[in-house]
Structure 1
Amino acid sequence: MSRRRLFGSLCSMVLLVNLARVIFAPLLEPVRTDFGASATGVGLLATLAWLGSASPRLPTGYLLTRVPRHAVILAAGTTLSISPLLAATASSLPVLWASAFLMGLSSGMYFIAAKPLLSDLFPARIGSAVGVHGTASQLAAAGAPLFVTAVLIVSEWRTVFVLMSGAAAAATLAFFLIARSSTVPNGERESRNFLGAVREQWKLVVGAIVLAGFTDLAWNGVFNFYVSYLVSEKPIAEGTARTLLAVVFAAGVPAFTLGGRLADRLPYVPLVLAIITAFAASLLGLTVVTTTAGLVAVSVALGLAIHSIFPAMDTYVLDSLPDAHRASAYAVFSAGIITLSALGSVVVGALLDAGLAYTTIFRGFAVAALGFVVVFAGVQVTVGFPSGRHAGESEA
């Protein structure tokens, strides 16, 4: 029972820490209007949220060799409770950038502590546990555009961050109370040598980053400019564009559970390559369709494809690592993949400011992703990516 209560508390917290990373996407247009910012300026806002999510992952991985996981999760929740207030009171874009970075930082701390904890709580069903946890996270992403739209109807964009701060404080307090009365796995079986774990598992870590890195970068750039793209390139209003962004994220709710369950049953690398192919095809479709019905359909397909890759990749890495190295090596993988992903929105912003059209950029992403699939399929058939359920368990 304590395991279930702890899992439920984690699902509540992940909803908010993921909201901190995606809340800026539907707010780019109001912020750009309020501050008179350029596309690169608001793109950097979203990028800093994701760079903030990437920056503490290596330090947190090391920290977990010294302190309990629940203590790190509590620190993440405390950071998330305070940092949105900086955005709510920001009088300049740089202050808003700082808030975005700190909000992202809280999510990075949380995920590095929570994902290995999930693998300890449910060792026989890592994919399913990660998938359900991801589904809870995705509920925030799906609701973010609707949440922002509702707040903007009755107030200004700053109110969004005040509400986030209050919710984060409540969720952090609830986790503290549950963790205090529960037996929380602290990773006592893991190695206390962070660098040693990384040296042992570097092939798996690098292979996983290479496998999914570009797709994550492309997706970050696409979803942060999704509303702006639809408003400028398609015959729809801004409110409808936000609703379509919500559709993309809503499709990710079942996709996380589906992706996790498939990862428990299918070979990892072929599954990931199939998902990347579906993502690229959906992105190409987005640049072609013009009707509202067509945009809804392609938004659903895009959301299902891209959100399936996250639980699949997490399961691939977590389930392939021995217990002794799991938290440390996963931290390095997570830091690398999120750093690449964070570059997506600023890359798109810079390309827009350089004169390229959205359609050209998005089609370029799709074609490049398909090219990587061909190359990676060749690698898998020849030398093979490092993989295998519980690979190297004997090394623990």
Structure 2
Amino acid sequence: MVFLVNIARVVFAPLVEPLRAAFGFSGGTIGLVVTMAWVGSAVPRMPTGYLLTKVPRHTVVLGSGALLTVAAAVTAVADSFATLAAGALLMGLTSGAYFIAANPLVSELFPDRVGRAIGIHGMSSQLAAVSAPLVVGGVLLVTDWRAVFWLIGGVAAATTVVFFLIARRAEMPEAGRDDKDFVGALTRQWPIILTGVAIIGATGFVWNGVFNFYVTYLVEVKGLSEAVARNVLTGVFAAGVPAFVLTGRVAERVPYVPLMLTILGGFIASLLALTAVGSLWTVVAVSVILGYVVHSLFPALDIYLLDSLPDENRASAYALYSGTMMLVQATGSAVLGALTDAGFAFDALFRLFSVGLLAILVVLFGLYVTERLPRGASPV
């Protein structure tokens, strides 16, 4: 399930150029379509957190699979900007609802191995990002972009049925049954929620714009062919596969906050390095490092929150964090597309974004050394 719901978000990145050609979209317009998928992923997170105070987590996971089946079909038949954007929004909705229900469920299924469990779950999600450019490339060799979404819809329908049959027989954990106070989770856990948003919100905003326009950037700025650029994007996502697993293991051995701040510094350095290199192999090398570093940050944040939050607040507080940070990062593609349409160069924008992230890192480090940055959640 996690493979499918994540491919629903990331599949638009390798389809940016085919969709621009099919519909005649500008960079800003196609960036808005991509943004709709991420806005869709953000919108249901807080409502889903409240819903989880009423219904079991696995029920929401099942519903997200059913919705993905419908959303893929809507996108496949899109014939205008409005219908394509609506399909992207619906596909994003499935991932938002899924992750809010599934991540707490995974952490509660394996309470003694939260880091490893979240790492493996994240790795499975990242395999979708790795596969997306390959699936798109393979489908486009024999047919058009619509077949990509028909394929996703068909597999989603089959997987949802299988999940239903498995969940009906499985024994679910009871840890989340006391998580009934959504507002109370906010008032009690706002320091750790705000810390998570501060670290991942701006970083996710930058990364959302970067990876969705990665193929365009490599073609227009680095001079690569579209096929080679798509393969490089695959390498960026592939580097994230071991990042999830290794970060999960490391997070079980070192303090969470220094780990997250170190990873953020590595992302800034990698993004700056990308603007400085020019040859094919240096671009590939930096891209792989960039992909590994940024995909280490996501499990680090999830483990920090899910392992620190008490049972009574876990899903609710995680939904508040996740919904807020996704709303921040979802606009990254639209903003980057609009700025490049206005004449700003990719490299100049990437450097500007890096400086902004560096300023945030300095502030966070200052708060950490003065012990004003929470190292864990508030007890119930």
The two structures have a TM-score, normalised by structure 2, of: 0.98
1:104 is the counterpart of 2:92? yes
Secondary structure, aligned partner of 1:265: coil
CA RMSD of aligned residues (A): 1.1
After superposing on structure 2, the runs of 4+ consecutive aligned residues of structure 1 that deviate more than 3 Å are 186-189
**Counterpart for residue 40 of structure 1:** 28
Q: What is the aligned counterpart of 2:318 among 320, 327, 330? A: 330
Q: Deviations for 1:321-356, whole angstroms, at most 9, x for unmatched residues? A: 111000100000010111111011011011112210
Q: How does 1:140-155 map to 2 (within 5 A)?
A: 140-155=128-143
Identify if the C-alpha distance between structure 1 residues 186 and 70 changes in structure 2 by more than 3 Å, giving closer, same or farther: farther
CA shift for structure 1 position 186: 5.4
CA shift for structure 1 position 180: 0.5
1:242 is the counterpart of 2:233? no
1:361 is the counterpart of 2:356? no
CA shift for structure 1 position 135: 0.3
Q: Deviations for 1:2-35, whole angstroms, at most 9, x for unmatched residues? A: xxxxxxxxxxx00010000000001011111111
1:296 is the counterpart of 2:284? yes
| Aligned equivalents of 1:186, 1:65: Cα separation in 2 | 13
CA shift for structure 1 position 257: 0.6
**Counterpart for residue 375 of structure 1:** 363
| Aligned equivalents of 2:219, 2:123: Cα separation in 1 | 28
Q: How does 1:161-180 map to 2 (within 5 A)?
A: 161-180=149-168
Counterpart contact for 2:176–2:311, Cα < 8 Å = no
| Aligned equivalents of 2:191, 2:137: Cα separation in 1 | 44
What letter corresponds to residue 97 of structure 2 in structure 1?
A: M
1:24 is the counterpart of 2:12? yes
Q: What is the aligned counterpart of 1:195 among 174, 183, 193? A: 183
Q: What is the aligned counterpart of 1:76 among 41, 44, 64? A: 64
Q: What is the aligned counterpart of 1:211 among 177, 196, 199? A: 199
Which has the higher mean CA deviation after the structures are superposed, 102-111 or 352-361? 352-361
1:181 is the counterpart of 2:175? no
What letter corresponds to residue 75 of structure 1 in structure 2?
A: G
Q: What is the aligned counterpart of 2:209 among 221, 230, 234? A: 221
Give unmatched runs, 5+ long, in structure 1: 1-12
**Counterpart for residue 123 of structure 2:** 135
**Counterpart for residue 90 of structure 1:** 78
Secondary structure, aligned partner of 1:25: coil
| Aligned equivalents of 1:219, 1:301: Cα separation in 2 | 14
CA shift for structure 1 position 89: 0.7
CA shift for structure 1 position 123: 0.6
Q: What is the aligned counterpart of 1:124 among 104, 112, 129? A: 112
CA shift for structure 1 position 392: 3.6
**Counterpart for residue 255 of structure 1:** 243
| Aligned equivalents of 1:24, 1:317: Cα separation in 2 | 29
| Aligned equivalents of 1:312, 1:250: Cα separation in 2 | 18
Identify if the C-alpha distance between structure 1 residues 348 and 188 changes in structure 2 by more than 3 Å, giving closer, same or farther: closer
Q: Deviations for 1:254-292, whole angstroms, at most 9, x for unmatched residues? A: 001111111111111111111111111111111111111
Secondary structure, aligned partner of 2:189: helix
CA shift for structure 1 position 384: 2.5
What letter corresponds to residue 110 of structure 1 in structure 2?
A: Y
Counterpart contact for 1:69–1:186, Cα < 8 Å = no
Secondary structure, aligned partner of 1:140: helix
Counterpart contact for 1:262–1:312, Cα < 8 Å = no
**Counterpart for residue 254 of structure 2:** 266
Counterpart contact for 2:179–2:315, Cα < 8 Å = no
CA shift for structure 1 position 185: 2.5
